[in-house]
Amino acid sequence: MNNLLDRIFFRSKNLDYISQNLKDITNQTPANKIFEAINNYSKSSEVRYVGGCIRKVIKKETVDDIDLATNLKPDEVCEALKNKDINFYETGIDHGTVTAIIDKYRYEITSLRKDIKTDGRHAKVQFSLDWKEDAARRDFSINSIYSDGEGNLFDPNNGKKDLDEGSINFIGDTEDRIKEDYLRILRYIRFFINYSDNKHRPETIKIIKRNIDGISKLSSERLLDEFKKLTKSNGFIKLFKDKESLELIEIIFPQLKNLERFKKLNSYANDNLLKIDFIFLLSLMIIDETDNTDYFFYKFNISKKDQKRLKLINLFYKEKITIKNFTEKNLNKIFYFNGKQAVCDIINFKLFTSSKVEKKLIKLMKTYQDKVIPTIPVEANLLMNKYNIPEGKILGSKLKMIEEIWVSNNFNISDKQVEKIAKS
């Protein structure tokens, strides 16, 4: 009976692109195997698309991940997938999430649930059979839209209407929702700058500011991961035109001292903003003449590899850098000793932070993007055999001198230069 009422009151037939695109996802990807496995598991079992994939279909965005919800419990989901020989792993089994893997596709399948206890970071959940109950515990109305494989929407919180109107509405009481998980403050900002051209509701901003200290309860990994999603979203640049959202970001991330740079980007930066990766984007936000980069490393746990990358950019710009520093002679040293990524980052940093676009830098960028790190033509055996230099510190010192001259001379060195160093 409940299922019948759902169909009468909360589903909507879609005869437009929404229905067709959801059907296409079902029919043109292995998602149809998931629907077959779960819908045929029992008489009452059902699986539906939910959240971001539906939101993106409605807004005609690229669907890059597919989340599903089901009224089966996690162990039943596993059994249903096993019955159809579908590979899976238990990604978040305590919270009811199983990830199915078919070919190159990954599908997160989460059991219907309700939150029993929350502490601002984590939730203790209880599995449910009620779709409306599952929808009621989600964060925003635009993320509580479900669809069957045929594109029929189940939308108990009027999420499609809010999405069409650009309204980012918390489900239920705003303050309660935020206190359940303070990451929702950042998620609110991401969804607002991407889907709304309206003004913020003063009461929503007031409640967020009243609870923003709760951000300190979150791990640096969760914060940075959510911020990364914001920076890679299509609406990112709108952040710097939205006073309230930008102010919240500055409160949450005081280490991002150079956000002002994004308010006046040159033409090169504007054209390439969405092409750059997250770590380089961070460099633009944290690197300046202070020790702010080290402070960022202290507050946020990023990989040693990414730290090294940021440190190399920071070290270069610790000096007083002008356009005169950008010569192949100077950059070849960075290129050879630290790699292509380092030298391209350094050139790109200057291109992004300059008031005007230097054509010289664009030409250099192209040069190093196409350049292959060469191999030094002089080896230890040559010096040992031709000049009778024994293995040891002297040999190492002479090889190092040869390498420095070779790098400084655009990776060229004459036989006479080698001989002079060998015999000195």
- Whether residues 37 and 166 fall in one domain: yes
| Sheet strands side by side (includes 97-102) | 11-12, 153-154, 146-147, 47-50, 66-70, 105-111, 97-102, 87-92
Q: Are residues 154 and 50 in the same domain?
A: yes
What are 212's two structure tokens? 């923003």
Last residue of a domain, one of 218, 253, 288: 253
Do 356 and 215 lie in a common domain? no
Per-residue pLDDT of the chain (424 residues; tens, 9 = 90+): 345 434 433 444 444 889 999 999 999 999 999 999 999 999 999 999 999 999 999 999 999 889 999 999 999 999 999 999 999 988 766 778 999 999 989 999 999 998 765 655 556 678 889 999 999 999 999 999 999 999 999 999 999 999 999 999 999 999 999 999 999 999 999 999 999 999 999 999 999 999 999 999 999 999 999 999 999 998 999 999 999 999 999 999 999 999 999 999 999 999 999 899 999 999 999 999 899 999 999 999 999 999 999 999 999 998 878 888 899 888 999 999 999 999 999 999 999 999 999 999 999 999 999 999 999 999 999 999 989 999 999 999 999 999 999 998 989 999 999 999 998 8
- Tokens representing 310 are 């940021």
Q: In this structure, what DSSP letter does residue 255 have?
A: T
Burial (0-12, 13-18, 19+ Cβ within 10 Å), 182: buried
What is the per-residue DSSP string for 205-243?
HHHHHHHGGGGGGS-HHHHHHHHHHHHTSTTGGGGGG-H
- Tell the burial category of 372 from Cβ atoms under 10 Å away from its Cβ (0-12, 13-18, 19+): exposed
Q: Which residue blocks in 287-392 are alpha helix, DSSP H? A: 292-299, 304-316, 328-338, 340-353, 359-370, 380-386
Burial of 157 (0-12, 13-18, 19+ CB in 10 A): buried
Q: Considering only CA atoms, which of 368, 365, 231, 216 is closest in space to residue 286?
A: 231
Same domain, 97 and 233: no
Query: 201 with 313, same domain?
Result: no
Do residues 148 and 80 share a domain?
yes
d(CA 237, CA 233): 9
- Which one of 170, 200, 223 terminates a domain? 170
Q: State the Cα–Cα distance between residues 63 and 288, nearest whole angstrom.
A: 37
Judge if pTM exceeds 0.85: yes
Which of these three, 206, 235, 253, is where a domain ends?
253
Q: What is the pLDDT of residue 122?
A: 57
pLDDT at 90: 87
Residues 182 and 267 in one domain: no
Q: What is the residue range of 106's domain?
A: 1-170
Whether residues 315 and 269 fall in one domain: yes
User: In whole angstroms, what separates CA 354 from the centre of its chain?
Assistant: 26
Residue partners of 243: CB distance under 8 A and separation at least 6: none
Number of domains in the chain: 4
